[in-house]
Structure 1
Amino acid sequence: MLVAAALCPCPPLLVPQVAAGAAPELDAARAACADALGVLAAARTDLLVVVGPAEQSGRGPHPQGTPGSFRGFGVDLDVRLGPGQGTAYDRTLPPSLAVAGWLLERTRWADAPIEGLGVGEPLAPERCVEAGREIGARRERVGLLVMGDASACRTVKAPGYLDERAAPFDAGVARALGSADVAALKALDPGLAYELKASGRAPWQVLAGAAENAGLTGTLLYEDAPYGVGYMVAAWS
């Protein structure tokens, strides 16, 4: 059963070495992510599943220790998804899970076995929910680290330019994440999320499936759009 979840944004800019001189702009988001992971650690889970958006080639499962890198962003920095040794892995982490690996390393996570799951943007809501149900049933005390961004259309300088639908969409997501509203997450429109370039839609709906009947409560720890992209951090317990 799902007993706790941390929800974090997944821009590589969350990693200070990638952000370079702009790193201080996301200090508050980094601090909120650390707080959310603290909630996960306090829950004493016996399995942590990390879920994040991925392209076809980056989908999971990714076992503990799977390597990732930020070299594609011009930074000589490697990470792993939790403690692991050796190089016998048949794939590398997609960027969202590499950011998760960095967060886990930063907080020195060592509380439970870890595995990663990359989910593709086209995955239908009902399939996301079913995947979440399967995750929630795997252990007595399951934790989720859910990576994903809201819309990328909040300003004219945003990656998707300005879309007037973006702010209301993000406000709805923030309410759902902050109140652990499973029904609202299930109801997110995949077509609208795609048009608004919201990478978190599928991972959030995986969370919704895992959280069914779990009785969790939520707290929104951070919400902002510093680059015209909605970044949110929440903790469920």
Structure 2
Amino acid sequence: MLVAAAVCPCPPLLVPDVAAGAAPELDAARAACTDALGVLAASRPDLLVVVGPAEQSGRGRHPQGARGSFRGFGVDLDVRLGGAKPASGTGEPLASGVSERELPPSLAVAAWLLERTGWSDAPIEGLGVGEPLAAERCIQVGEEIVAQAERVALLVMGDASACRTLKAPGYLDERAEGFDAEVARALGTADVAALKALDADLAYELKASGRAPWQVLAGAAEGAGLGGALLYDDVPYGVGYLVAAWS
């Protein structure tokens, strides 16, 4: 059963070493992420699953202790998902080669957030999901996740549209503001039906990387009766960044 969820954006710029001189611009977003992770810790889960968008090489499951890196962004910084601990549920060190597959950037950002807040409350595993994953499959994945343990928490990584301004990565798209507003409303009110109904084609056109992870959350949260709170909603760099907590 899902007992709590935190929704956070996943730009590597959340990591101050990556943002460098621009780091203060996302201080409020980092603070909101910390608050959201506090809700996860307070829920005392048996298992934390981190879900984030991933390219082909990063899709699928990533065990506790899997390594991520920000070297591709010009920073000599490595992280591990939940620290260098045994794989979830095994009680044994990771087998040789298990953690060699690097975390996708979204899960590396999540690992950094968890290290920053000193997460040690429950076993962790990661799941990278592809942008094209159909809504029905996302929902099914969410249902499968919450069947893994009696008390499951989710850390859901993903950005809203990247088309909010002329200088945004996707340039300005007039549809982006309305799309982001609906996502913010759904996340802030734990509206599972609204998340399930998100238009995957529109999300793709607006470069919203969070669509599939949000729909995994919707599948996991069905029937859980959680309430939501929107902790952050802004568009730095023309990209929609949202932070929410469900409990």
Structure 1 counterpart of 2:153: 143
TM-score normalized by the length of structure 2: 0.95
User: Root-mean-square deviation (CA), in Å?
Assistant: 0.9
Structure 2 counterpart of 1:167: 177
- Paired residue type of 1:182: V
The within-5 A match list for 1:173-212 is: 173-212=183-222
Structure 2 counterpart of 1:73: 73
Structure 2 counterpart of 1:46: 46
Q: What does the per-residue CA deviation read over 1:87-126, in whole Å, with 9 as the maximum and x for residues that have no partner?
A: 7324010000000000000000000000000000000000
Question: How far has the Cα of 1:84 moved from its partner?
Answer: 1.4
2:111 alignment partner, one of 101, 108, 120: 101
Q: Which runs of 5+ in 1 are unaligned?
A: none
Structure 2 counterpart of 1:20: 20
TM-score normalized by the length of structure 1: 0.99
How many Å separate the matches in 1 of 2:108 and 2:100?
Answer: 16
Structure 1 counterpart of 2:84: 84
Structure 1 counterpart of 2:88: none
CA contact (8 A) 2:8 2:244 kept: yes
How many Å separate the matches in 1 of 2:148 and 2:225?
Answer: 17
Structure 1 counterpart of 2:90: none
How many Å separate the matches in 2 of 1:82 and 1:233?
Answer: 21
Question: How far has the Cα of 1:38 moved from its partner?
Answer: 0.2
Q: Which runs of 5+ in 2 are unaligned?
A: 86-93
Question: How far has the Cα of 1:83 moved from its partner?
Answer: 2.0
CA contact (8 A) 2:67 2:100 kept: no
Question: How far has the Cα of 1:226 moved from its partner?
Answer: 1.0
- Paired residue type of 2:37: L
Q: What does the per-residue CA deviation read over 1:18-75, in whole Å, with 9 as the maximum and x for residues that have no partner?
A: 0000000000000000000000000000000000000011012000000000000000
Structure 1 counterpart of 2:121: 111
The percentage of aligned residue pairs carrying the same residue is 82
- Paired residue type of 1:187: A
